[in-house]
Amino acid sequence: MQQLPETLRENVRLLGELLGETIRDHEGEERFSRIEQIRQLGKSINQSEEDDPSALVDMLGELNDEDILPIVRAFNQFLNLANMADQEYGASAEAEPEDGLKAMLLNFKDTYGQDRLAEEIRNLRIELVLTAHPTEVTRRTLIRKYDQIVNTLSDQQRGNLLSFEKDKVIGRLHRLVEEMWSTDEIRSERPTAVDEAKWGFAVIENSLWQAVPDFIRHLDRLSSRHLDLKLPLDLHPFHFFSWMGGDRDGNPNVTHAVTREVLLLGRWMAAELYLRDVEGLYGDLSMYEASAELREHVGDSDTPYRDYLAGFRKRIQATLDWAEGTLKGEEPAKPVGLIESRDDLLEPLMLCYRSLNDVGLPHIANGPLLDTIRRVHSFGVNLVPLDVRQDGERHVAVMDELTQYLEMGSYLEWDEATRQEFLLKHLQEKRPLLPADWPVSDEGAEVLKTCRVIASEPAETLSTYIISMAQQPSDVLVVALLLKECGMTWNMPIVPLFETLDDLDRSAEVMDLLWQLPWYREYADTKQTVMIGYSDSAKDAGKFAATWAQYKSQERLVQLADKHGIDLILFHGRGGTVGRGGGPVEKAMASQPPGSVKGKIRVTEQGEMIRYKFGLPKVAFSSFSTYTVATLRATLEPHAAPQAEWRDLIERMAQASLEGYRRVVQGHPQFVPYFRSLTPEQELGLLALGSRPAKRKATGGVESLRAIPWVFAWMQVRLNLPAWLGTRQALEYALENSPGTLNDMVENWPFFSAFLDLLEMVIGKADTPIAAYYEKQLVPEELHPLGQELRADLSALEVLINRIKKQDELFDGDPMLRQTLSVRKPYIDPLNLLQAELLKRYRSGKPFSDELERALKVTMAGISAGMRNTG
């Protein structure tokens, strides 16, 4: 079996030893020895052919209650430490010995020519939307310690360390591990939406603020050396946006007041960061030579840049003070010179930049000053312009209240044509439609208050208005009318989100009708973002059918946008896990329909994935490089459209998959009770997770459950059902009816081969014996046949994958991943077995101590860490 790379293996070993020493110091030799026995037994079981966990079950069954919490904490912390070692290695030069970006530039320069490549680089627009994560289980206190450990591991890799410096690094690691062990892993209070937004701002402050200018400088240097291209100063290929504090779909905790507070916090945090930059520049720009343009502002000064920046610094400080006072409820008057736009920040910086170049100081101009200029272009006046998201039903309800109050009839009962006629008429009228005072419901009032907050904010602080469950053109028009009636003075982009299988199938039809409306074309200025929902479509139809529906929807939307002359950006609402559209960026981009990227893409990045991809400057730099390479490749080398026979076969496969999935999830009378008894779905409420409830509605079954806890629950028991259920039927259909075409698809269609690769990873992370143990402990015997059926389905799917990929076992083509999973398994398995036992005790109704409840929560965190996702 292939071994892990030496550096990674050594880091895992070192962190494991430090954790062991810490446990021995704090818990005693006897408890440490018990943990080691469990670890060694788990390892030996994992290496044996039988893979029989009964001996481990027996050992765990002998534990005293007081031993359980320290033991689950030990395995949880080891898995977190292993993740840190992975993160450090993944961003290191050793993991990528050659610069992939440089290699791509050279290759594309030869293939497409310097001018074409330069144009595509200048036009890059990669929009990353930071979203909160309802099942992010790790406390921010610990996240900061994790980041420090990764940075310290990086320091250790330096080859020129003196012996005392090495000891210092090891000592720091030991201290951080001890701090981890002495800190409670589980939050005691649920974070608010504002807390989540603050966490997003912290990622920018601690990582992206440095990584963004570093990456653009690197891209500029490569372009200058290899393309003879100097990138423009305003180039900012990455645009950052946020849902934190704006996503109110199913989250009653996100109110208009929260949105206003988060927008203010963004302006306050931006002012704070720019102030730090300008104070640094004040120290750096001590030179006396300056252009006549700058001298006009400062006169005959020995320190013209400092004198000029002093006034700029006062403006930023005044903006900071105003934002802080407003947040405190003091309602200060807006100061003269308040920073309200990107130009307010750029103008003084660019004047200094021009002056330095004019007097022959280009190296100084292109130092930290240029970094700050690039930050302004990338982050603007509030760091991450806010998306506002709301369920389409809420807008319909408000309009229905209004039309009934005005005795116009029931908007809810009108057909689509009548709704459109009414909305377009009032969108073009100058007279207001909303009464000054009318008895609107609390829910309706909240929708209107949100629209008024949006209307009162500078346009640069906001991004788009997203409509969940959009189904008709009127769903877009009604938002435009509500914004207009609430005082909106600019055309905020309105983004329909198509989520269910039916909505995806109808998405092109809806947009075709919308784009035929002259009023809307003028409003949108021939620009449109359309969001594709991955999570809810997969929960509705199963992963296979949903993935094909998403592909077809994008194809049709691209063709339709070209027909109507619309500049289209597809917004991919991907989650962190495969079951919710997640996966490696390279595979995701390579599998997009031809013509759907064109240098522009918008993608959600959720909680834990923000941490894994952007939590540290070096890691973020690597992620930027990956995104840039993948976007340019998808733009310049899009794969051909699927052949007719592929399309015909996958259509029939998707139908077989849909029937197989819904037969179980929607049609099996025992499925919901089986799901609720097998998984910790009901116990998720014990965890103080994100601000958003697990359900969109207080009542209802699986259909009302959010996609994230739906995936989280199945992942905890290692069955991973949302990512594969229904796929066996699809593959069996193809093998029985068109094996040659299926083989052709595997070898020549990147979309399909990427799907199989992700499916293989999901199956490899699953563990049917563990799932069977949960069933034995928790599920009523009359429900066991369904569990046996599901596990047999998964086992059969594994056989099919190996057969189709012509391999003997999973991960034949990725032995590194196989080894990584093998290393983690002896640590995850005990957590699963203990979690099943704890769930059994918790549900028994017998006394359950606070220590055991905390242990149950820690098992959830540990399994999430081991599986490298929470949902």
Pair (426, 554) in one structural domain:
yes
Residue 567 φ/ψ, nearest 5 degrees: -85, 100
Q: Would 40 be classed as within a structural domain?
A: no
Among 345, 379, 413, residue at a domain's last position: 379
The pLDDT value given to residue 726: 97
How many CA atoms, within 13 angstroms, populate the side-chain half-sphere of residue 217?
16
Over residues 12-16, mean pLDDT: 92
For residue range 228-241, what is the model confidence (pLDDT) as tens digits? Answer: 888 899 999 999 99
Q: How many domains does the chain have?
A: 3
Told to judge if 133 belongs to the known catalytic residues of this protein, a careful annotator would answer yes
Specify the residue for token string 């627009």.
125
- 366 and 442 both lie in a single domain: no
Length reported for the chain:
871
**Are 804 and 756 in the same domain?**
yes
Tracing tokens 């007279």 back to the chain, one arrives at: 431
**Residue 575, token pair as written in the block:** 């989650």
- Residue % of the chain over a pLDDT of 70: 93
Rounded mean pLDDT of 307-320? 97
Specify the pLDDT at position 86. 85
The model's pLDDT over 481-518, given as tens digits with 9 standing for 90+, comes to 999 999 999 999 999 999 999 999 999 999 999 999 99
User: Which whole number is the average pLDDT over 59-87?
Assistant: 91
Among the listed residues 239, 539, 600, 857, the single catalytic one is 539
Residue 150 within any structural domain of the chain: no
The type of residue at 753 is S
Are both 353 and 405 inside the same structural domain? no
If asked whether residues 556 and 681 sit together in one domain, one would say: no
The per-residue pLDDT for 95 is: 47
CA 422 – CA 414 distance, rounded (Å): 10
Any domain includes 570: no
Domain CATH number, residue 331: 1.20.1440.90
Name the residue with tokens 């075709």.
Answer: 512
* Better-predicted residue by pLDDT, 157 or 542: 542
361 shares its domain with 418: no
Chain segment 44-72, per-residue pLDDT in tens? 887 776 667 888 888 988 889 999 999 99
Quick one: 334 and 438 in the same domain?
no
Is the pLDDT at 787 greater than 50, yes or no?
A: yes
- 462-468 and 527-533 strand pairing: unpaired
Name the one residue in this structure whose structure tokens are 């090495």: 166
Residue 84 located in a structural domain: no
DSSP state of 414: S
Whether this model's pTM surpasses 0.85? yes
The answer to whether the beta carbons of residues 507 and 553 sit under 8 Å apart is yes
- pLDDT greater than 60 at residue 273: yes
When pLDDT is averaged across residues 172-182 and rounded to a whole number, the result is 94
Structure-model confidence comparison of residues 436 and 702, the more confident one: 436
What tokens were used for 332? 């200060």
In terms of Cα–Cα distance, which of 858, 712, 867, 870 is closest to 180? 858
Q: What's the pLDDT band for 688 if we cut at 50, 70, 90?
A: low
Arithmetic mean of pLDDT over the chain: 90
CB 709 within 8 A of CB 871: yes
How far apart (Å, rounded) are the C-alpha atoms in residues 566 and 554? 14
Across 47-51, 76-80, 261-265, the highest mean pLDDT is recorded for 261-265
With respect to residue 63, please indicate whether it lies within any of the assigned structural domains.
no
The string of pLDDT tens digits covering residues 703-739 is 656 666 788 899 999 999 999 999 999 999 999 999 9
pLDDT at 653 over 90: yes
Q: Kindly report which listed range (30-39, 260-269, 372-381, 581-590) carries the lowest average pLDDT score.
A: 581-590
Same domain for 405 and 299: no
Please tell me which residue in 109, 133, 395, 765 is annotated as part of the active site. 133
Are the CB atoms for 801 and 763 separated by under 8 Å?
yes
Residue whose pair of structure tokens reads 């880091």 in the numeric block: 11
Q: Which helix (H) or strand (E) holds 531?
A: strand 527-533
How many whole angstroms separate alpha carbon 639 and alpha carbon 637?
Answer: 6
**HSE of 783, CA atoms in CB hemisphere, 13 A:** 19
Predicted local distance difference test score (pLDDT) of residue 97: 40
Range of the domain at 188: 98-139+184-379
Q: What average pLDDT does this structure show over 325-336?
A: 92
Q: How far is CA 451 from CA 255, 263, 266, 493, 617, in A?
A: 11, 14, 19, 13, 36
**Are 328 and 373 found together in one domain?**
yes
Do 264 and 345 sit in the same domain of this protein? Answer: yes
540 within a domain of the structure (yes/no) = no
Give me the mean pLDDT over the 561-589 stretch: 75
Structural domain ending residue among the three candidates 315, 346, 379: 379
Structural domain contains residue 678: yes
Q: How confident is the model at residue 581 (pLDDT cuts 50, 70, 90)?
A: very low
Residues 470 and 344 grouped into a single domain: no
**Helical (H) or strand (E) element with 125:** strand 125-131
Q: Would you place residue 702 in the very low, low, confident or very high pLDDT band (cuts 50, 70, 90)?
A: low
**Is the domain of 112 the same as that of 204?**
yes
Q: Which of 331, 122, 321, 332 lies closest to 235 in space, CA to CA? A: 122
Q: What Rg do the C-alpha atoms of the chain give, in angstroms?
A: 28
Question: What is residue 691's predicted lDDT score, i.e. its pLDDT?
Answer: 47
Asked whether residue 45 is assigned to any structural domain, the reply reads no
Angstrom distance (rounded) from CA 410 to CA 424: 17
| Boundary (domain end) residue, out of 379, 399, 421 | 379
